[in-house]
Amino acid sequence: MKIKKITLIFSDLLLISWVAFAPAGMCQDINEKIKSLEDMLKAQQETIQKQQEIIKQLQEELDQIKKQAAEIPAKPEEKPSYTSGGLFGAASAYNPNISLILDTFGYSSSLKKDELEKWNIPSFISEGIDHKEGMNIHAAELYLFAPVDPFFNLYATIPVKQEGVELEEAYLITTNLPAGLQAKIGKFKSGFGRLNSQHSHVWNFVDQPLIYRAFVGHEGINEKGIQLTWLPQLPIYTQFGVEALQGENEILFGSDASSGLHAFSAFIKSSIDVGDYGTLLFGPSVIAGKTRTDSIAEDHIFSGDSTLIGFEFTYKWKPSRWKSFTLQSEYMYRHQKGKLQDTTTQAIQNLTRSQDGIYLQSIYQTGRWGFGTRYDLLEPFKDQYKLDGANISFGNKPWRASAMVEFNPSEFSKIRFQYNYDKSARDGRTNNEWFIQFIGGVGAHAAHTF
Amino acid sequence: MKKNFLKIFLAGIFLTMFSSNLFAKINVVATLPWIADLAKQIGKDHVSITTLVKTSQDPHYVEAKPSLIIAARKADILMYNGLDLEIGYLPVIIESSKNPNIQPGKSGNFDCSQFVTPIEKLSSVDRSMGDIHPRGNPHYHFSPANVLKVAQGMTEILVKIDPANEAYYRKNYQAFYSKWQEKIKKWKSANLAGKKFVAYHTLFSYLAKEFNFQIVGCIEAKPGIPPSSGDIQKIIDTINKTKPAAILANVYSPKKPVDFVAEKTGLKVILVPHDVGSLPGTDDWFSFMDKVISLLSEA
């Protein structure tokens, strides 16, 4: 900039000296020339002025930036948070996110201990209820999650129970597949149905609906295998999923049913928003596979094929953080065909079971309080239990009604009371159950699914 | 016949998969309204913007609804507030969207807080203090200095994604910057220095710092937890001692405790917009700030 200015001044000087010493005869010609030169000079001066303005503007901007820079306090030297240093000194920065959730409840029943242990659902499952009168620890569940690399995330759920440590879930999930595809590999809760993939601490009741207990057991379909889901780019949320599973669920399949993967599932989940605050989620699921189980009746082993079909429906209305209403229902239909063997007499009979079940629950939340009701019914439409071609009747349809009240002191804790009026034993007896549940979570803030 | 049907079906799938590439506009998905507005001011006609959080919603507590997941599915870039504000839902949305563009570490995963100098950072925390944000106060959109830096960062990322329109984005940023310079003079001349207020939530810390006024306390003593009667008594005592000008509430803060404190202390309640579009006359970030400054200076 400076050099330009100097050159300009220099050229002006030259011009002036030339005009001053010009011969007189050239006057007229010169006058014209002077005029044009004057014009040129003017133009140059304008240019200079413009340039000076630009310089001024830039100077102002520079001052502004300097001022801004001065406003930002110099960062204090960051001290390394580890003390040991050395080769693996910063490794703690790579620790996965960890959280621990304690789920514990007090339980009381109108039945005696031995009655409770035999509180099965005839024609469905032979297993009784394993809650103990008094305090129970459902689990202290340890969650670990972190990205593995730019291609996978890793999740593990390790419940520590009174009976010991379990590997409930441990899976890799892809993050980089194209076209809306995603794979889950490892041990995970199947995408079948609505509640199946939810962890117990996000359930709306202390226990699972009867259809879960009757068709897949209270732990749900939680299997080793591979899941592939696809979310196409549609205006409406629609997710498609298929799974190939080991088939170790002790109620529906059984690890001895076949070697290798022997349970396969498929599901579709669609969702639309209704109005500003409402959301609908619905879709069918199916899972089928080879079965070998001793859960149908005592001292009997069943082997054959099973198909479970489900349909889920959820409507949630949530105008604010402090208010919501949820209506949720799932229907399941199970068809099973195979041989039932008496393990004492070794007698074998053909068994065909076609049974269904449904639950309907509603939750109303206001402020930190939640209120819920649930109705369970088995065999609403289908109650076939055919032994060697003859249909057997087991009596009244199993049903149960539940009510709960919960208080959430914060986002991380919950106290819940629940009452069950349980008529699932089909013989007219009633199991009155009372629960008081406490849930508290510490550690990393895991995000919640819908 | 069957073959034709298959062809059309496959073409349909192909189109749905790659439809984003057919249109030149950049698909921006922004979590909060103010982020969407900034992206609109810089990207204008070359971006198509979807906002996940509604203006009436508390941005701390949003559900990862499937409609939000499908919105994120088509994003070329996801712009979010960061500083753990969206931690309760955004990780699920990102992973469930099955969209590789917006996964952490990708250029389509744009954390606006990376340009921000956070205040109220806490080195030692536990949740007995409530749902606090250890990485700093996340409500920096009340801070003109920080928002300008975010706008600058946004310009750079749009240029990186869509270099063909570099001049366009830079021109829009220049226009934003000129307006910002003009507005900041106006805002700074508003008489806020030395004023005192009580707030429901720690929304206004950045504003207070930059405009030299004071938030003497919050009704919600522990973030995310409704105040206990003890907390309320404490804030009433504070008010009586410090004599602030007003109580600052917002559309999603609970009415009951705010009205109770107002009644007990005789203080008036000012409904301050918490984000762009949350109150009438706050259609973009500038008018939002205009409204905030004028409400506070008139108090």
How far is residue A379's CA from residue A402's CA, in Å, rounded to a whole number?
Answer: 18
* Residue in A closest to B20 by C-alpha: A233
Long-range contacts of B135-139 (CB under 8 A, 24+ apart): B135/B83, B135/B84, B136/B83, B137/B83, B137/B202, B137/B205, B137/B206, B138/B81, B138/B82, B138/B83, B138/B84, B138/B85, B138/B113, B139/B85, B139/B202, B139/B203, B139/B204, B139/B205, B139/B206
**Inter-chain residue contact A231 with B105, CB threshold 8 Å:** no
Number of other residues whose CB lies within 10 A of the CB of residue A235: 10
pLDDT tens digits, A21-64: 445 555 667 788 788 888 888 888 888 888 888 778 878 777 77
The closest of B213, B210, B209 to B191, measured between CA atoms, is: B213
CA geometry: angle at A257 spanning A352 and A118, to 5°? 65
B132 to A5, A97, A283, B146, B200: CA distances (angstroms): 59, 17, 38, 21, 15
B22 interface with A at CB cutoff 8 Å? no
**Inter-chain residue contact A410 with B130, CB threshold 8 Å:** yes
* Residue in A closest to B178 by C-alpha: A61
For helices B229-242 and B255-265, the axis angle rounded to 10 degrees is 40
pLDDT tens digits, B69-119: 999 999 999 999 999 899 889 999 999 999 999 999 898 999 999 999 888
B179 interface with A at CB cutoff 8 Å? no
Please give the pLDDT value at position B41: 95
Question: Within 13 Å of residue A103, how many CA atoms lie on the same side as its CB?
Answer: 17
- Element spanning A172, H or E: strand A169-174
Q: Roughly how many angstroms between the first and final C-alpha of chain A, as a whole number? A: 63
pLDDT tens digits, B54-77: 988 888 888 899 999 999 999 999
Residues 142-171 (A) with a CB less than 8 A from some CB of B: 147, 150, 153
Spell out the residues 6+ positions from residue B62 whose beta carbon is closer than 8 angstroms to its own. B52, B53, B68, B86, B88, B89
Residues comprising chain A, all counted: 450
Please state which architecture CATH assigns to domain B191-298: 3-Layer(aba) Sandwich (3.40)
Structure tokens at A314: 């959820």
Best of B76, B80, B86, B98 to mutate (most A CBs within 10 Å, chain A): B98
Residues comprising chain B, all counted: 299
**Inter-chain residue contact B13 with A232, CB threshold 8 Å:** yes
- Which residue among A231, A273, A442 places its CB closest to the CB of B98? A231
Residue numbers of chain A with a pLDDT score lower than 50:
1, 15, 18-22, 73-84
Structure tokens at A47: 């240019």
Q: Are A384 and A410 in contact (CB under 8 A)?
A: no
How far is residue B193's CA from residue B96's CA, in Å, rounded to a whole number?
Answer: 46
How far is residue A115's CA from residue A106's CA, in Å, rounded to a whole number?
Answer: 19
pLDDT tens digits, B224-265: 888 988 999 999 999 989 999 999 998 888 888 999 999 889
Amino acid identity at A186: G
A32 interface with B at CB cutoff 8 Å? no
B13 interface with A at CB cutoff 8 Å? yes
User: What DSSP state is assigned to residue A326?
Assistant: E
Question: Within 13 Å of residue B107, how many CA atoms lie on the same side as its CB?
Answer: 10
Spell out the residues 6+ positions from residue A82 whose beta carbon is closer than 8 angstroms to its own. A89, A90, A92
B256 interface with A at CB cutoff 8 Å? no
**Inter-chain residue contact B103 with A150, CB threshold 8 Å:** yes
* Residue in A closest to B133 by C-alpha: A445
Question: Distance from B39 to chain A by nearest Cα, in Å?
Answer: 23
Please give the pLDDT value at position A66: 63
Number of helical H runs and strand E runs in chain B: 10, 8
Best of B14, B60, B70 to mutate (most A CBs within 10 Å, chain A): B70
- Tell me where in chain B the CATH 3.40.50.1980 domain(s) lie: 24-119+130-186, 191-298
Residues of A in contact with B117 (CB under 8 A): 72-73
Residues 64-103 (B) with a CB less than 8 A from some CB of A: 64-67, 69-70, 73-74, 84, 87-92, 95-100, 103
Statement: residue B33 has pLDDT above 50: yes
Q: What is the mean pLDDT of residues B166-188?
A: 93
Please give the pLDDT value at position B86: 92
Question: Distance from A220 to chain B by nearest Cα, in Å?
Answer: 22
* Residue in B closest to A61 by C-alpha: B181
Q: Round the average pLDDT of chain B to a whole number and report it.
A: 88
Give the ipTM: 0.79
* Residue in A closest to B93 by C-alpha: A449
Please give the pLDDT value at position B20: 45
Q: Are A271 and B66 in contact (CB under 8 A)?
A: yes
Please give the pLDDT value at position A65: 65
A281 interface with B at CB cutoff 8 Å? yes
Give the number of A-B residue pairs with CB atoms closer than 8 Å: 115
Q: Are B204 and B185 in contact (CB under 8 A)?
A: no
Q: What DSSP assignment string belongs to A5-68?
A: HHHHHHHHHHHHHHHHT--GGGHHHHHHHHHHHHHHHHHHHHHHHHHHHHHHHHHHHHHHHHHH
CATH of B24-119+130-186, one of 3.20.20.105, 3.40.50.720, 3.40.50.1980, 3.40.50.2000: 3.40.50.1980
Number of other residues whose CB lies within 10 A of the CB of residue A65: 10
Residues of A in contact with B224 (CB under 8 A): 410-411
The closest of A409, A440, A433, A429 to A419, measured between CA atoms, is: A433
Q: Are B259 and B251 in contact (CB under 8 A)?
A: no
